[in-house]
Amino acid sequence: MSKEIPYKIYLEEHEMPKQWYNVRADMKNKPAPLLNPGTKQPMTLEELEHVFCTELAKQELDDTTPYIDIPQEIQDFYKMYRPSPLVRAYCLEKKLGTPAKIYYKFEGNNTSGSHKLNSAIAQAYYAKKQGLKGVTTETGAGQWGTALSMACSYFDLDCKVYMVKCSYEQKPFRREVMRTYGASVTPSPSMETEVGKKILLEHPGTTGSLGCAISEAVEAATTTEGYRYVLGSVLSQVLLHQTVIGLETKIAMDKYDIKPDIIIGCAGGGSNLGGLISPFVGEKLRGENDYQIIAVEPASCPSLTRGKYAYDFCDTGKVCPLAKMYTLGSGFIPSANHAGGLRYHGMSSVLSQLYDDGYMEARSVEQTAVFAAAEQFARVEGILPAPESSHAIKVAIDEALKCKETGEEKTILFGLTGTGYFDMYAYESFHNGTMSDYIPTDEDLKPGFDSLPKMD
Ligand SMILES: *Cc1c(COP(=O)(O)O)cnc(C)c1O
């Protein structure tokens, strides 16, 4: 039965997934619906269509269809950079001296440098199919904006990106990659939108936040003819598109009779983790198999480990629907942390429900320990990981070292979401010893919780 396991496991073209898997269909407790912030009633398709492309709004509301076809055009685009490799980390295992077997699914093998392209191309496709002129979005660390600009240029769509001002200034190269793909990039908050002007008036000199950039992008989409808003994480539709990660992994592992004992992923808005674990969680939900699943988040932005499970605003300007999620409150501002993609105050409603029902655990880790793990990984496995991805590396190493103590030969799988070439300021502050590990006190978390909407 057992075949020799190659260093990298790729799939043949005919083995590639042709459908995404919608884990909500197998959940007994469905994620709570998005609510209209005015009426507090579940959002209808008609309401969502003003903001999102129609087909994507349908996917957002679909809690029952288990498999959704990946349109041929998207499958064709995936062929440019997929399958992504599933790598056996032999060198890391050796370095750690662990009996554990470590695998990682590497999503950094495309110019955007992260998994975000998997959903960007899907969202651009549906926008094009609907005959739209363009889409608007926000970007924090820049990976999502880059991925979307690549996807939009492929389908010849306009792409307008509101980039959190501090990133805009700190990461000029990300900005230029987006412009290379034809996107227009505006630092947020800006004077281009009403909500941007209002935020600038209330907080002059602010360097922006993801929540604020979302508000601006939504306003721009809803006030411009032929435009819709697209989002790179948190939403159930995004998690659906990202299941291509987990499906490829499952097919590759099944091919070699590998069964992971522990599955680990970093969690910002939850899309890569949700995508990686979906096929495995599906088996768990149906009672067919069991896996230990660990979500890893920064100690500076601990939405699962210290947040509340409540309805909350998705953005600072409070223009988006309310989502029930583990959240620190839309008013929460995390301290300086270099993993920009993990700085969001809330978590996917799908993952929040799975976590609340005990299907997965969560762990928070401190920044310097994350970079130490990143560096250790880079030195033995070659890949220079993104700060976000390195959260998963840190916990994978911790678990492998536990196996060293107990002698257990567990199989550990983690998601390596991207590369960190645009994060060298972060690596620099780690090397210079100036990186902070500030963990918010309960006092620091209070204003965020106080900003939660009253649901009466
Ligand atoms: C955006 C991003 C994340 C976090 O987003 P999720 O939606 O939680 O997956 C993680 N890693 C990288 C490299 C990212 O760009």
Domains of the chain are: 21-70+116-229 (3.40.50.1100), 83-113+243-450 (3.40.50.1100)
Q: Which of 105, 388, 389, 423 to mutate to test the pocket of ligand 1 (most atoms within 8 A of CB)?
A: 388
If one residue of 107, 111, 342, 370 were mutated to test the ligand 1 pocket, choosing by the most ligand atoms within 8 A of its CB, it would be 342
The stretch 290-313 carries a mean pLDDT of: 97
Pocket flag, ligand 1, residue 282 (CB < 6 Å):
no
What is the structure's pLDDT at 206? 87
Instruction: Kindly tell me if the per-residue pLDDT of 3 is higher than 70.
Output: no
Ligand 1 contact via 149 beta carbon (within 6 Å):
no
Indicate if ligand 1 lies below 6 Å from the C-beta of 304.
no
Mean pLDDT of the chain: 95
Ligand 1 neighbour 389 (Cβ under 6 A): yes
pLDDT for 285 equals 98
pLDDT digits (tens, 9 = 90+) for 122-146: 999 999 999 999 999 999 889 999 9
Interval between CA 74 and ligand 1 midpoint (Å): 21
CB of 231 sitting under 6 A from ligand 1 = no
Task: Report which ligand 1 atom has the smallest distance to the Cα of 386.
Answer: 13
Residue nearest to atom 13 of ligand 1 (CA): 418
pLDDT > 50? residue 1: no
Q: Is 385 in the pocket of ligand 1 (CB under 6 A)?
A: no
- For the segment 192-196, the average pLDDT, to the nearest whole number, is 94
Q: Is the pLDDT of residue 181 over 60?
A: yes
pLDDT above 70: residue 198:
yes
Q: Is 242's C-beta closer than 6 angstroms to any atom of ligand 1?
A: no
Looking at the chain, the whole-number percentage of residues with pLDDT higher than 90 is 88
The mean per-residue pLDDT over the stretch 231-260 comes to 97
pLDDT attached to residue 242? 98
Query: Atom 1 (ligand 1): residue with closest C-alpha?
Result: 341
pLDDT over 90 (residue 269): yes
Question: Tell me, what's the pLDDT at 147?
Answer: 98
**What is the model's pTM?**
0.97
Ligand 1 lined by 341 (C-beta under 6 Å)? yes
**So what's the pLDDT on residue 104?**
98
Residue 2: which pLDDT band, with cuts at 50, 70 and 90? low
Average pLDDT over every residue of 149-169 = 96
CA of 388 to the centre of ligand 1 (A): 6
Q: Which of 111, 143, 326, 348 to mutate to test the pocket of ligand 1 (most atoms within 8 A of CB)?
A: 143
**Residue 101 pLDDT greater than 80, yes or no:** yes
Check pLDDT > 80 for residue 316.
no
The answer to whether 295 and 351 are in contact (CB under 8 A) is yes
Tell the residue nearest (CA) to atom 3 of ligand 1.
341
